[in-house]
Amino acid sequence: MEELIKRILSFRDQRDWKQFHTPENLSKSIMIEAAELLENFQWDNNFDKEKVMEELADIMIYCVLMADSVNVDIIKIMEDKLRKNSEKYPIEKAKGNSRKYTEF
């Protein structure tokens, strides 16, 4: 992953795109790619795996760029959030139900 992150940042820098990559613009970009992913499921579940893979990759790449733009370690924030989620969703309460923790 670390190697890949370096390559993503280098891809950006070679094109001199950092100037466009404000946290706000990247947040919009993640949103736009997330909608393109959702488009594969708009009317039914017969999705094209190839397209899904590409859109999912686009979202992740923008997430890596976003993490860099706000200067956080993307692995670390995922670890932290997973720990928080474990507390918000204790196994005994969350098991087998999809309710939000505020509705337990």
Binding site for a second copy (CB under 8 A): 1, 4, 7-8, 11, 14-17, 19-20, 22-25, 27-32, 34-45, 47, 49, 52-54, 56-61, 63-64, 66-67, 70, 72, 74-75, 77-82, 84-86, 89, 91, 94-96, 98
* Cα-based distances in Å from 99 to 18, 81, 88, 94, 104: 39, 18, 12, 8, 7
| Min dist. Cβ of residue 2 to a second copy (A) | 8
HEC states along 27-82? HHHHHHHHHHHHHCCCCCCCCCHHHHHHHHHHHHHHHHHHHHHCCCCHHHHHHHHH
| Min dist. Cβ of residue 69 to a second copy (A) | 10
Contact 9, 68 (CB under 8 A): yes
| Min dist. Cβ of residue 16 to a second copy (A) | 4
| Min dist. Cβ of residue 71 to a second copy (A) | 9
